[in-house]
Structure formats: structure tokens, C-alpha cells
Structure 1
């Protein structure tokens, strides 16, 4: 496997260049090929006019987990379709955990599902996404 980066190395490199994911306060909990588990805390500046977590925050959090999982095999992957279902509101102070799992991996397309839960296990959102897998591979920075 000489010259190839591990899933952990790829995700670390991605996060180092991703100012928005860092602003979200994302912490990487686990990474493996086709998988990522991350967490973040909902902050006061992340709520909408109803005083609950803005849907775009939950979407962006799930999207980051999706990006990490879909790129973790070493090939650049870019999203071509995503959707989210918000199942429960999130509040300031909630610790969210997103688990992204590969559902299908083809030569050019990959499909992923992300579950977003509170740390107590209550499911708050379901995200699905498809990526196009480019020919370019990740390499050390």
C-alpha cells in the first residue's frame, strides 16, 4: 500500500483545508474506508428565528460526514445528489453525532447514508448522498 494514504490521513487532510467544517467544530471520532463518525456541539449562532438549530447546520454537518466517508478510500469523490429529512429539532448545547456509511460503491458512483443523532441516540436527521468518483487520488500534502 506504499504511496496510498489511509482513511484517517485523508480525512485529516480534508479537515485541515475545510474552514467551514472547522467552524462547525467538527471532531472526527472514527474513520475507515467508506465510513466516518463525527460529532459537533450546536452553538447559539447556529439557530434560526424559531430558536432551534438551523436546518442548514444539520445538513452541513451530515454533508461533512458524507464527504469524509466517500473520500476515505483514496479516490477524490464529489457530491452529485444529496437530500435530508429532518426528524426532530436540535437545540443549543446538543451534541450531535453523524455516522456515514457506504451503501454502494461502483467504479464511478458511490451512494452513502448518514444518520444524525443526539448523543443520547435520538435520531434527528437522515441524509443520503451520491458521489461521482474522479480519477484523481488523494496524496500527502
Structure 2
């Protein structure tokens, strides 16, 4: 008797600048670049990522800002292990809808701690949210 179990589909994982981050892969985040203390990622907003106002949920926006800053910090230090968020402050300026682009940058790089910022841009190039954060290089 043959088995009726279908063969599981193996989906290719996205490399997030050298790291496997299943949560970002699940969301469909597209890593564009991370080099010389700057990063850029993007995401097409899906209905399941919205709040009751049908705009990007704040938690999603904060996730994207956090990763963009972390990627910028890793790229400035050429640090392969990743970084850990120490703190993060976020401001929401207008609703995020449609295609979301997030750009991160390092303001000051230290031997173990990096100070970063990131912005979320809408299709018109307007800033919809911004964040600043402090990141420690993982050892």
C-alpha cells in the first residue's frame, strides 16, 4: 500500500544580509542592501498586516524599523554575528500603506555600541514613521 502523504514543499529561505531570520521571511521582507552603515528593506503591505484602520499595524512598522537599524549597524562594523537592540524610540507621523520602504543608517559607530536611525517611506517618498535606536554588537 502506498503512502498518501504528500511531499512537503520546501521553500527557499531568504538571506537577510547573511542571517536566517524566519520571522522576516514569514512577513515577506525584501532585503535590498546593507553596506557602509546604511541599509534598505521593503515590504508590500498585506491585509493581514493592517490594524482596524486598514493601515500598517504599528508593531509591523516597528519590526521593520528595528531590523533596518540593526542591518545598518552590522554593515558599519562588518559584524557577521548580528546585533542586539538595547533601546528604540519610534514616532508615527502618518499612516503607512501600500509598498513600504525602510532606510536605516548609523549615526555613530563604536567598538561595541552603535547609535542608529531609520525612516519608513511611502510610495510618494514621504516619511510615515521614524525611529532611533541603540544596538550592541553580539559576541
Is TM > 0.5 for Structure 1 vs Structure 2?
Answer: yes
Structure 2 equivalent of residue 118 of structure 1: 122
Q: Taking structure 1 as the reference length, what is the TM-score of the superposition?
A: 0.79
2:53 counterpart SS class: coil
In 1, distance between residues paired with 2:119 and 2:17? 21
What is the match of residue 68 of structure 2? Answer: 65
RMSD value over aligned CA atoms? 1.6
Answering whether residue 95 of structure 2 is matched by residue 89 of structure 1, we say: yes
CA distance in 1, matches of 2:54, 2:117: 28
- Do the aligned residues in 1 keep the contact of 2:120 with 2:129 (CA within 8 Å)? yes
Question: Which residue of the partner structure matches residue 4 of structure 1?
Answer: none
CA distance, structure 2, for counterparts of residue 24 and residue 61 of structure 1: 10
Separation (CA, whole Å) in 2 of partners of 1:122 and 1:67: 22
Paired residues for 1:1-141 under 5 Å: 11-14=16-19, 17-72=20-75, 73-75=77-79, 76-91=82-97, 94-134=98-138, 136=139
Larger radius of gyration: 2
Can you give the 5+ residue segments of structure 2 that lack an aligned partner in the other structure? 1-14
Q: Is the contact between residue 121 and residue 128 of structure 2 (CA under 8 Å) also seen in structure 1? A: yes
C-alpha separation between the residues in 2 aligned to 1:115 and 1:35? 12
Asked if structure 2 preserves the Cα contact closer than 8 Å seen for 1:103 and 1:111, the reply is yes
Q: Is the 8 A contact 2:17 2:71 kept in 1?
A: no
Q: Which has the higher strand share?
A: 1
Q: Deviations over 1:19-48 (max 9, x none)?
A: 111122111222212110111111000111
* Larger relative helix fraction: 1
Gaps of 5+ in 1: 1-9, 137-141
State the TM-score, normalizing by the size of structure 2.
Answer: 0.80
In the aligned structure 1, how far is the partner of 2:89 from the partner of 2:105? Answer: 15
